[in-house]
Amino acid sequence: MGVGIEVRGLKAWYGKNESLHGIDMSVPANHVTAVIGPSGCGKSTFVRCLNRMHETIPEAYAEGSVKVGEMDVYGGGSDPVEVRRRIGMVFQKPNPFPTMSIFDNVAAGLKLNGFRNRKQIAELVERSLKLAALWEEVKDSLHKKSGASLSGGQQQRLCIARALAVEPEVLLMDEPASALDPISTSKIEELIFQLKQHYTVVIVTHNMQQAARVAELTGFFLMGNLIEYDKTEKIFTTPADKRTEDYVTGRFG
């Protein structure tokens, strides 16, 4: 089951540049929340702060409070390795491991976390691929084909399966379909819709129609600030802030 995310006063820096200026946001469990905004508004930075990926960039750091369920992400005793295991991430450009088979790709996270029982691993791999709606397409060539030999859309679903295999509580998706063709995109969107039963999903997207299609809640970011955060329907039909209205009606962005 998914958990909720509580963000209070989240600030982020790239070296001396403050790129997020204190974000407060409550992401409810088992919902899909979209994060939208123009290029450079900080939406990707925000999401990458949730699983402490932001700090892997040299000279980048973040401050503030992020609670994922009971886990205090930036708390004193918190370990980034553990945080990242419990929060899954899917990236803009599908990045399967080219030297590994499909099976090994999905099992990668499990092997890292010390799983040794082959039967257990095989079960979890199958479960993850089914959750990612890829099982039927690859079940006969799990060990024969490499992760990189699949089509773009399949690769992205493989990356989703890989992320799900270690059973995160939250799934972060950074523009997961922007590198894909329309058919693969709609498959991914269907998938997201189903995933929310088990996980809390936060998806960054520059495609407003996509946000409208998959997300129940949407947050609009602009220049490092969260301008408006509400039900998706409201954001797109009767936004409270003028800047939000300008963005969703296409006046800039």
Q: Decide if residue 240 touches another protein (CB under 8 A).
A: no
Which one of residues 54, 162, 196, 213 is an interface residue with another protein (CB under 8 A)?
A: 162
Q: Applying CB under 8 A, which part among 4-12, 27-35, 83-91, 238-246 lies near another protein? A: 83-91
Q: Contact between 142 and another protein (CB under 8 A)?
A: no
Long-range contacts of residues 145-148, Cβ cutoff 8 Å, at least 24 apart: 145/101, 145/102, 146/98, 146/99, 146/100, 146/101, 146/102, 147/96, 147/97, 147/98, 147/100, 147/101, 147/102, 147/104, 147/105, 148/96, 148/97, 148/98
> Which strands, in side-by-side order, build the sheet including 71-72?
17-27, 5-14, 60-68, 71-72
Is 163 strand, coil or helix? helix
Q: Which of 19, 45, 51, 244 binds another protein (CB under 8 A)?
A: 51
- Name which of 143 and 209 has its Cβ closer to another protein: 143
d(CA 230, CA 237): 11
Q: Site size for another protein, by CB under 8 A? A: 35
State yes or no: residue 15 binds another protein (CB under 8 A): no
Q: Which 117-136 positions form the footprint of another protein (CB under 8 A)?
A: 124
Residues lying near another protein in the complex (CB under 8 A): 1, 51, 53, 56, 58, 79, 81-86, 88-89, 91, 93, 95-100, 108-109, 112-114, 124, 159, 162-163, 166-167, 169, 198
